[in-house]
Structure 1
Amino acid sequence: MGKSRSTTVLIAYLLSQNPQTNPQSALDLIRQSHPFVEPNSGFMEQLSLYHSMRCPSTQEALDNHPLYQRWLYRRTVEASVAAGVAPEVSELRFGDEGNASPMNLAAEERSTDLKSSEHPSEPKVLYRCRRCRTPLATSAYLVPHNTKRPVSSQPCAHLHLTPLSWMRPELEQGKLEGRLECPNEKCGQSVGRYAWQGMKCSCGEWVVPAMTLGKGRVDEIRERPRVGIRGGKI
């Protein structure tokens, strides 16, 4: 009857034609002519995602967008968890796949000059196992959550990550939750936990799925500006 699905398509069109429009303002505009329209919450969520992606105009641009890939992956995970099982091995996606090996993150840290010049306001952080100093992740793989919490709220005791390839041996076991151990065979220190069904962070926010590093189990190495011969920053 044009109440939900047709309205969703129309909102998507309005978003694609006017970058200044957001899903709610487009809905308000349509309601001026048809007050009864009411896209369901799932459609509104997808419209917000489409808007956040800056409304890609081709299927290829959509399929290759990181936000869309993350959304698809989350839906796959949620479907598996709803059935009471972990995601299939073939469905697992690792944030660092195709990039530098996670065991070479130290080398990646040494090559931050170009990246930091592209994103000068985002200093890079390397997270190492506190016991053996093995690189585990960088800030590029952090999953933001509860970004609107008050400054006075309880700080997070965990770092939430996208799945990384060093977690593969554990995640391929098909368990819904378990421990994450340092990938250094000579160490084996427990550095965090995972739960496909999600986990409540110490700040109070639920994160789904949850792949965490305990802040007390890792060291944070922040990049430092390199000083040139004349004292200038490089």
Structure 2
Amino acid sequence: MGKSRSTTLLIAYLLSQNSLLNPRSALDLIRQSRPFAEPNSGFMDQLVLYHNMRCPSTQEALDNHPLYQRWLYQRTVEASVAAGVAPEVSELRFGDEGNATPMNLAAEEGSVDMELGSSEPTTSYRCRRCRTPLATSAYLVPHNPKRSATSQPCAHLHLTPLSWMRSELEQGKLDGRLECPNQKCGQSVGRYAWQGMKCSCGEWVVPGMTLGRGRVDEVKDRPRIGIGGKI
């Protein structure tokens, strides 16, 4: 008794009280008096998520946090794929609609002050054939390339679902092509697979919503100007 669930609760409490701790160091601290403490892998993953969210203290803060919303969405997708079907139309979540927040983890974790502006330019991705805007770097889904830093960039840009994909994703298929939303163009710009896709770097990304780098142009936008004219 007290090996997994109660240890998880205690780790969460310690994280909320001491910003210098992380889930592993908190577990090591507990093991000094309870050596057999061992949260299961699922609980540890959730503790890492809680720590990355900076330990929200209220249910509202938790529910509204982009990292938590993404985690819930991934669980929904995984449940659908496990049943051999695509997510229901009512479950689809498009990152550029309503109150949705871009899924770029750097912005979510607060490393960029979105009100004062950022010195880091945003990158726009446009159809190479007709120049129709498709996405910006705010909607990229980060992953951990397995290649070394000197390797070529990944051949795929992984995205959160965006509204221009709606007509394709609402067909209920597990995978398929993504075409430029400009009806006069219709160029194939990428692919999707709810069950996930293996990137050219070797990393598996779930769900897989990708643009092919060879099918898009990348345009660096100017940094936004902050208060007082400072960048």
TM range (shorter): 0.7 to 0.9
Runs of 5+ consecutive residues of structure 1 not aligned to the other structure: 101-113, 227-231
The CA deviation at 1:153 is 3.4
Change (3 A) 1:59 1:224: closer
Which of 126, 135, 142 is equivalent to 2:140?
Answer: 142
* Equivalent residue runs for 1:66-215 within 5 Å: 66-98=66-98, 118-120=117-119, 122-146=120-144, 149-215=147-213
* Identical aligned residues as a percent: 85
AA aligned to 1:164 is L
Paired with 2:201 and 2:146, the residues of 1 have a C-alpha distance of 11
Matched, 1:26 2:26: yes
AA aligned to 1:88 is E
Contact 2:117 2:223 in 1 (8 A): no
Paired with 1:78 and 1:129, the residues of 2 have a C-alpha distance of 30
The CA deviation at 1:118 is 1.9
Paired with 2:116 and 2:159, the residues of 1 have a C-alpha distance of 24
146-155 or 61-70, larger mean C-alpha shift: 146-155
Cα-to-partner distance string for 1:165-185 (whole Å, 9 max, x where unaligned): 100000000000000001111
The CA deviation at 1:193 is 0.2
Paired with 1:149 and 1:27, the residues of 2 have a C-alpha distance of 31
Higher relative contact order (CA 8 A, sep 6+): 2
Paired with 2:44 and 2:177, the residues of 1 have a C-alpha distance of 36
Change (3 A) 1:7 1:191: same
The CA deviation at 1:221 is 0.9
AA aligned to 2:129 is R
Length-normalised TM-score, structure 1: 0.87
AA aligned to 1:50 is Y
State the Cα RMSD in Å: 2.1
Cα-to-partner distance string for 1:114-171 (whole Å, 9 max, x where unaligned): 9695221x21111111111111001100011115742133531111000001000000
User: Which residue of the partner structure matches residue 36 of structure 1?
Assistant: 36
Contact 2:3 2:38 in 1 (8 A): yes
User: Which residue of the partner structure matches residue 58 of structure 1?
Assistant: 58
Change (3 A) 1:72 1:3: same
Change (3 A) 1:97 1:225: closer
Cα-to-partner distance string for 1:184-224 (whole Å, 9 max, x where unaligned): 11111110000000001001111000100011111111124
User: Which residue of the partner structure matches residue 103 of structure 2?
Assistant: none
Length-normalised TM-score, structure 2: 0.88
Change (3 A) 1:11 1:99: closer
The alignment covers a number of residue pairs equal to 215
User: Which residue of the partner structure matches residue 107 of structure 2?
Assistant: none
The CA deviation at 1:14 is 0.4
